[in-house]
Amino acid sequence: MAARKAFPLRIDPDLWSAVERCATANLRSANAEVECLLREALKARGVKLSPPQPVKRGRPSKESE
């Protein structure tokens, strides 16, 4: 999986509050919500992107000895 790009973002506080409320309603982090909103906006403009790679969660598998 490719590393994610870190990017500082200056955003209006009221807009950020709205993003955080949407993220909470969708059980996502604010970063994940911003990524979803950007993907939806690009899709609406006809930009094709490959689907995001799922993040592995949970315990690492046990290695056999």
What are the helix (H) ranges across 2-64? Answer: 13-25, 30-44
Residues 6+ apart with CB under 8 A from 42: 49
Structure tokens at 60: 């690492």
* Domain spans in the chain, listed from the N-terminal domain onward: 13-44
Return the amino acid letter for 11. Answer: I
Q: Tell me what the mean pLDDT of segment 11-22 comes to.
A: 96
Q: Following CA atoms 25, 47, 2, 4 in sequence, which dihedral angle do they give, to the nearest 10 degrees?
A: -50
Residue pair 32/46 in contact by the 8 Å Cβ criterion: no
Give the model confidence (pLDDT) of 18-62 as tens digits.
999 999 999 999 999 999 999 999 999 999 988 887 777 788 878
Q: What is the pTM of this model?
A: 0.73
